[in-house]
Amino acid sequence: MPAAKKGDRVQVHYTGTFPDGEQFDTSRGAEPLEFVLGEGTLIPGFEKCLVGMSPGDTKTVTIPPEDAYGERSEASVATVERDRLPDDIAPELGMMLQLTTEDGQVAHAFIAEVTETEVTLDANHPLAGRELVFEISLEAIL
């Protein structure tokens, strides 16, 4: 049976949990996730663990932050005055905002804290700094 290698288009099903068992994502109950292995579409630790798997194989892997979404960076957290937000935005905890940086790049941040006068924005990925556990099943090599 063929083994998955860099450059292969693959289909996988997965369930992602934290080490305590809390589930944060799954493809089960939907179409399998399809991508080209090694293109960097997914986090490095997820792609690496597929190399050498054959269709029908299932494995559970624990991926450290450095092979997932990286460590949290306090430099990616900023507190701004509420009046700097557009008037049509009523800030709520957890709300995702699209921002334009000083150099014109688009960035995303979620609202981590709201007070009467300030809003704390966090541009870290929500899973940054977290160890992730994935049960991955290789469904097909296309």
Q: Is 134 in contact with 20 (CB distance < 8 Å)?
A: no
Task: Quote the CA–CA distance of 48 and 118 in Å, as a whole number.
Answer: 42
How confident is the model over 91-112, as a mean pLDDT? 90
Q: Read off the pLDDT band of 92 (50, 70, 90).
A: very high
For residue 79, what pLDDT is reported?
96
Q: Is 98 in contact with 108 (CB distance < 8 Å)?
A: yes
Q: How far is CA 47 from CA 5, 30, 60, 102, 117, in A?
A: 10, 20, 13, 33, 43
Dihedral over Cα of 7, 24, 57, 28: its sign: negative
Q: Write phi, then psi, for 20 (nearest 5 degrees).
A: -80, 0
- Its CATH architecture, for the domain 9-70+128-141, is Roll (3.10)
Residues paired with 110 in a beta bridge: 96, 122
Q: Read off the pLDDT band of 100 (50, 70, 90).
A: confident
Options 3.40.640.10, 3.40.50.2300, 2.40.10.330, 2.60.40.420; CATH for 74-122 is 2.40.10.330
Say whether pLDDT at 99 is over 90: no
